[in-house]
């Protein structure tokens, strides 16, 4: 009897908790005006982003002029109007993933993916809203419709293809092993019995799982929240090697005073493709963005952005 009573109490309180959460969100909806002040900060960030965008992106008036000159966009525009009624594409990104998407010295969001997305928005005569999210929460953000797409060095995986509508690959990425040059680790085999660091939740983890033999040869795998701490860890000699996206490794090493201290070892552990993720049922929007990327590849604007960031056009759109 006593147990039953306790069970009852437990159930009630869970219900109460859910109720609290609910009423909280109800408040959130009705108290829109009250929440205005709190929303202000986000607004400021958004505003700041638009200012940042001024040269590259579409502030309203500018795009209107653009649309007139672009006769071919008219059919696409009809699609855009139904797919994105507000005319805003909300791009979910991790704002700490250089060079794909990160904060510059003025704390504005920049990067290769950001520039490409801005160009896509310009082509489609829509506005781009950058929504910096916690990258480990990306699927929830997408499902909750807080963002329309995940676009920030997002690698293709089978699980992700199951959960989302993915575009065709637009760039190739490799999982490479980075070590300190003076560590005498010259190949993946030399990592036997050593410690490996990587970013948790990244595709480096998946690549490692697929390379069972390499993984088993390691002494320990140490996960980090992001790559800079992982880099500091190999610099400090706590771990011996770092498994990381080649594009990010290149950026980090190029930033250092002594790039020669680092070594990208041997063959990549895995070759991956960067794609853009949309909600599973948002295939029409996915197709539209994909088609726009192909268009941009053809008119050279995509290649120009890639050259600006990587020195050459390394995009694989349309291949």
Partner 1 sequence: MDWNSFVTLLPAFLQGTWMTIRLFLITLLFSLPLGMIITKGRMSKMKWLSGLVAVFQWVIRGTPLMLQLVIVMYFPSIALGIKGVNRFTAAGIAFIINYAAYFSEIYRSGIESIPAGQLEAAKVLGLSKGRTFRRIILPQTVKRILPAMGNEFMTLVKDTALAQVIGNIELLKVAQSQMNRTTSMVPLLIAGVFYMIMNGAVQLIIAAWENRLDYYKG
**Contacting positions for partner 1 (CB under 8 A):** 6, 9-10, 12-14, 16-17, 20-22, 24-25, 27-29, 35, 38-39, 41-42, 44-45, 95-98, 102-107, 131-134, 136-137, 140-141, 143-146, 226-228, 231-232, 252, 255-256
Rounded to 5 degrees, what are φ and ψ at 115? Answer: -65, -40
Nearer residue to partner 1 within complex by CB, 89 or 97:
97
Nearer residue to partner 1 within complex by CB, 87 or 266:
87
Nearer residue to partner 1 within complex by CB, 232 or 238:
232
Rounded to 5 degrees, what are φ and ψ at 190? Answer: -65, -10
- Cα–Cα distance measured from residue 73 to residue 71, given in angstroms and rounded to the nearest whole number: 6
H or E element at residue 81: helix 73-83
Of 314, 177, 312, the closest CA to residue 253 belongs to: 177
Report yes or no: 187 and 263 within 8 Å, Cβ to Cβ.
Answer: no
Q: Shortest distance, CB of residue 43 to partner 1, whole angstroms?
A: 10
Nearer residue to partner 1 within complex by CB, 172 or 226:
226
201: left (phi over 0), alpha (psi -120 to 50) or beta: left
Nearer residue to partner 1 within complex by CB, 187 or 255:
255
Q: Shortest distance, CB of residue 13 to partner 1, whole angstroms?
A: 4
Q: Shortest distance, CB of residue 241 to partner 1, whole angstroms?
A: 18
Q: Shortest distance, CB of residue 75 to partner 1, whole angstroms?
A: 29
Q: Shortest distance, CB of residue 214 to partner 1, whole angstroms?
A: 26
Report yes or no: 177 and 191 within 8 Å, Cβ to Cβ.
Answer: yes
- Length of the chain equals 319
């Amino acid at each position: 009897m006593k147990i039953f009573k306790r069970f009852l109490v437990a159930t009630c309180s869970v219900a109460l908790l859910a109720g609290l959460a609910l009423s909280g969100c109800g408040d959130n909806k009705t108290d829109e005006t009250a929440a205005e002040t709190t929303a202000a900060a986000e607004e400021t960030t958004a505003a700041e982003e638009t200012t940042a965008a001024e040269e590259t992106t579409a502030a309203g008036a500018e795009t209107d002029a653009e649309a007139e000159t672009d006769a071919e966009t008219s059919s696409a525009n009809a699609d855009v109007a139904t797919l994105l009624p507000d005319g805003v594409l909300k791009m979910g990104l991790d704002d700490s993933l250089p060079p794909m998407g990160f904060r510059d010295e003025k704390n504005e969001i920049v990067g290769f993916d950001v520039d490409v997305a801005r160009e896509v928005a310009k082509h489609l005569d829509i506005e781009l809203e950058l929504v910096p999210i916690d990258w480990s929460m990306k699927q929830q953000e997408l499902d909750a419709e807080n963002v329309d797409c995940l676009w920030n060095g997002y690698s293709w995986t089978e699980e992700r293809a199951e959960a989302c509508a993915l575009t065709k690959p637009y760039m190739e990425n490799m999982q490479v092993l980075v070590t300190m040059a003076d560590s005498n680790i010259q190949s993946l085999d030399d990592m036997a019995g050593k410690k490996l660091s990587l970013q948790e939740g990244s595709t480096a983890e998946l690549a490692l799982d697929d390379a069972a033999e390499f993984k088993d040869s390691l002494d320990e795998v140490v996960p980090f929240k992001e790559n800079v701490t992982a880099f500091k860890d190999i610099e400090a000699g706590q771990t011996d090697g770092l498994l990381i996206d080649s594009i990010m490794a290149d950026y980090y090493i190029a930033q250092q005073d002594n790039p020669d201290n680092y070594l990208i070892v041997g063959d990549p552990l895995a070759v991956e493709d960067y794609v853009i993720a949309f909600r599973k049922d948002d295939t029409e929007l996915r197709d539209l963005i994909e088609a726009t990327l192909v268009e941009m590849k053809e008119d050279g604007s995509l290649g120009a952005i890639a050259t600006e960031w990587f020195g050459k056009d390394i995009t694989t759109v349309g291949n």
